[in-house]
Structure 1
Amino acid sequence: MITCVVDYTIDPSKIEAFEEFARRWIDLVNRHGGTHHGYFLPAEGASDKALALFSFPSLATYEQYRQLFGRDPEFIAADKIRDDSACVIRYERTFMRPLLPDETSS
């Protein structure tokens, strides 16, 4: 399993647009082979930071999903929310390998 962590710097005055953008991507990831773990939005502290975490069974599965970017109308529409609203100032993607609790040890 591979987990993508996306670290966003957002425009706090455009949080509603960012939430709409985020909801679209949760649905798209879940429908195209991944598991979206959610977006984590500002609550305390810095008001311009947000995170997204989603996993795919493998890097190959993630790459299949990435092939839809810029081609699939739903992917283009989701990115259009971000682009038209300018709710995202910048973002950085990092791939991580999760270490999950061992269910047999509880």
Structure 2
Amino acid sequence: MITCHVRYIIDPYQVDAFERYSRAWIAVVTRMGGQHHGYFLPAEGANNVAYCLFSFASLCDYERYRLEAAQDAEGQRLVAEACELKFIVSYERSFLRPVLE
């Protein structure tokens, strides 16, 4: 299993827009075979940092998801919306290997 961890810097005045975007991506990842662990939005502390975690069975499966999401109508719509509204300032992805019992 490979888990993708994304750290976002978001526009603190557009948290609601980012939350709508997040909820939609959860459905896309799930539909494409991933397991989404959720988005984590600012509550206390920094008001412009958010996180998300989602997993695929392998890095190969994640890469397939990336290719499919780029061609998916909903994925394309979400990327266009984020670019238009600019609620994501920047992001960084890390890949993790979970240790589970």
**What range is the shorter-chain TM-score in?**
over 0.9
Unaligned runs of 5+ in 1: none
Moved more, 74-83 or 84-93: 74-83
| TM score, norm. by length of structure 2 | 0.95
2:95 counterpart SS class: strand
Contact 1:2 1:55 in 2 (8 A): yes
* Structure with higher helix content: 2
- 1:72 corresponding residue in structure 2: 72
- 1:12 corresponding residue in structure 2: 12
1:43 counterpart SS class: coil
CA RMSD of aligned residues (A): 0.9
Moved more, 39-48 or 74-83: 74-83
Contact 1:21 1:79 in 2 (8 A): no
Distance 1:6 1:64 in 2: 18
Q: Please state how far the C-alpha of 1:73 moved relative to its aligned partner.
A: 1.1
Could you tell me the percent identity over the aligned residues?
50
- 2:57 corresponding residue in structure 1: 57
Q: Please state how far the C-alpha of 1:70 moved relative to its aligned partner.
A: 3.1
Q: Could you report, residue by residue, the CA deviation over 1:57-104 in whole angstroms, capped at 9, with x for unpaired residues?
A: 00111111011243221110111221121100000000000112x2xx
1:95 aligns with 2:72: no
- 2:45 corresponding residue in structure 1: 45
Contact 1:17 1:81 in 2 (8 A): no
Unaligned runs of 5+ in 2: none
